[in-house]
Amino acid sequence: MKYAIITYGCQMNLHESEKIAGVLREHGYDERAELEDADIIVFNTCCIRENAENHAFGNIGALKKLKRQKRHLIIAVGGCMAQEEGKAALLKERFPFLDIIFGTHNLDELGELIERKRREKRAIISLREERRSTEDGIVPVRTSYPNAWVNITYGCNNFCSYCIVPYVRGRERSRHAEDIIAEVTSLVKEGYREITLLGQNVDSYHSEEGVRFPALLDACARIEGKFRLRFMTSHPKDFSEELVETIARHEKICNHIHLPVQSGNDRILALMNRRYTRAHYLECLAMLRARVPGCAVSTDLIVGFPTETEEEFCDTLSLVEEADFSTAFTFIYSPRKGTKAAAMQGQIPEAVQKERIMRLVEAVNANTRRLSAGYVGKDTEILCEDFDKKRGMYLGRNPEGRMGYFTSDRDRIGEFVTLHVTSANGISLYGEERGD
């Protein structure tokens, strides 16, 4: 029997889809397939912004016909949207043909739910308030070789006023350091070349045994073998000198940090409940760059937060240059039911939000282009991760997260390649492999 998984949202969800595949493999579905050929289809959803939900709703709705033609087909919806308050009932009402709806804390139970569904006719809805344990015992089917994701924390306690994650992912829980180190060690042994430690706020990692994030990162970087370490996401309020020292100490830790700032204006940052100021953020960057020269910093930015004025938006615009972001994800604020910001007065009209995001994207792109151009004529090491059929080129990222393209007459995926950069376009670098 065959399976298909459709994933929305962040790295956390991408990795969870690898775990979902692991569960499916244990329950008789042993081959990945296109939607039309699948015997089970799982949607792993996201609800961070309204358009993420709309996508999922549209794609689930489109399966009605397939389900009618293929009676034994099981359709399951999991992930953050399924966990969102009231959404499971709404999904059931809108799509009566759904077989299973499961929340973010139920992954370890998915196998049982599938077995139950095979016996029972009615739809099964299973949502839990909390994750049972930090170890789910699931062996993921990894699809991102030579990269591998490793969870270090689950959930989030920060309650940024715009964000739904703490509601759908629950309270923050840290895995045991020894479990994480064992997982990384075995991934490196298996041949994975880049490990990304995942958490909503990795800096607040705190194991029961008292291990903090810098110590965990340090321990991972001491694992033998040629590999790179990345981590995301960091939070400026918890950013520490100790972390910077750890990055500086280890070659294996990439010179790249994703440090979402959200806004360049202090009044908006306070309303967002981010608990730092623009000045604090810039101090973090100065400390980082003094100890780790050339360290790339990427970020997330939100425009059109309730009550944001033109001047306040311009503070975000000016920060893009001042902070010298290598890249940035830019978002239009999307009100999420149940969050503090959704109930605030002064929601910004869509036309204003759209106009602001266009200006912001232009500023971000200009900076990205300028930094990319700086690589031309230089060498940079990329980890080859894929082949781009359209371009007919291999590609991979350098430690700072820039995408490098090159041609080769043999399969290079999983290899470290020194690229001599000959041209740049946006975030992409093009070059030739440097021979020994």
Question: Site residues (CB under 6 A) for ligand SAH?
Answer: 48-49, 162-163, 165, 200-201, 233, 235, 260, 262, 300, 302, 331, 333-334, 336
**Mask for 206-245, x = binds ligand SF4 (CB under 6 A):** -----------------------------x----------
Nearer to ligand SF4, 201 or 246 (CB): 201
Question: Binding partner of residue 302 among ligand SAH, ligand F3S, ligand SF4, none, CB under 5 to 8 Å per kind?
Answer: ligand SAH
Distance CA 37, CA 49 (A): 30
Residue 12 in contact with ligand F3S, rule: CB under 6 A = yes
Helix (H) or strand (E) holding 219: helix 213-221
Burial class (CB in 10 A: 0-12, 13-18, 19+), 88: buried
Question: Binding partner of residue 336 among ligand F3S, ligand SAH, ligand SF4, none, CB under 5 to 8 Å per kind?
Answer: ligand SAH
Applying CB under 6 A, which of residues 5, 42, 46, 107 lies at the interface with ligand F3S?
46
Which of helix, strand or coil describes residue 134? Answer: coil
Question: Binding partner of residue 47 among ligand F3S, ligand SAH, ligand SF4, none, CB under 5 to 8 Å per kind?
Answer: ligand F3S
Across 323-402, where does the E strand assignment appear? 327-332, 379-388, 393-397
Query: Phi/psi class of residue 377: alpha, beta or left (left: φ > 0; alpha: ψ in -120 to 50)?
Result: left
- Per CB under 6 A, the segment of 163-171, 242-250, 371-379, 382-390 that binds ligand F3S is 163-171
Residues contacting residue 210 through CB under 8 Å, at least 6 positions apart: none
Burial class (CB in 10 A: 0-12, 13-18, 19+), 135: exposed
Residues contacting residue 146 through CB under 8 Å, at least 6 positions apart: 191, 192, 193, 194, 383, 384, 385, 413, 414
- Per CB under 6 A, the segment of 119-127, 152-160, 344-352, 407-415 that binds ligand SF4 is 152-160
Angle of helix 310-323 relative to helix 278-291, nearest 10 degrees, comes to 10
**Binders in 65-94 for ligand SF4, by CB under 6 A:** none
**Binders in 367-406 for ligand SF4, by CB under 6 A:** none
Nearer to ligand F3S, 57 or 387 (CB): 57
Applying CB under 6 A, which of residues 169, 173, 175, 402 lies at the interface with ligand F3S?
169
Residue 47 in contact with ligand F3S, rule: CB under 6 A = yes
Residues contacting residue 110 through CB under 8 Å, at least 6 positions apart: 20, 23, 76, 78, 100, 102
Residues contacting residue 344 through CB under 8 Å, at least 6 positions apart: 161, 271, 306, 307
Question: Binding partner of residue 193 among ligand F3S, ligand SF4, ligand SAH, none, CB under 5 to 8 Å per kind?
Answer: none
Residue 163 in contact with ligand SF4, rule: CB under 6 A = yes
Question: Binding partner of residue 364 among ligand SAH, ligand SF4, ligand F3S, none, CB under 5 to 8 Å per kind?
Answer: none
Question: Binding partner of residue 101 among ligand SF4, ligand SAH, ligand F3S, none, CB under 5 to 8 Å per kind?
Answer: none
Question: Binding partner of residue 166 among ligand F3S, ligand SAH, ligand SF4, none, CB under 5 to 8 Å per kind?
Answer: ligand SF4
Contact criterion met (CB below 8 Å) for 165 and 156: yes
Across 117-157, where does the E strand assignment appear? 124-126, 147-151, 153-154
Residue 10 in contact with ligand F3S, rule: CB under 6 A = yes
Distance CA 425, CA 372 (A): 7
Strand partners, 158: none
Nearer to ligand SAH, 170 or 260 (CB): 260
Residues that bind ligand F3S (CB under 6 A): 9-10, 12-13, 46-48, 80, 165, 168-169
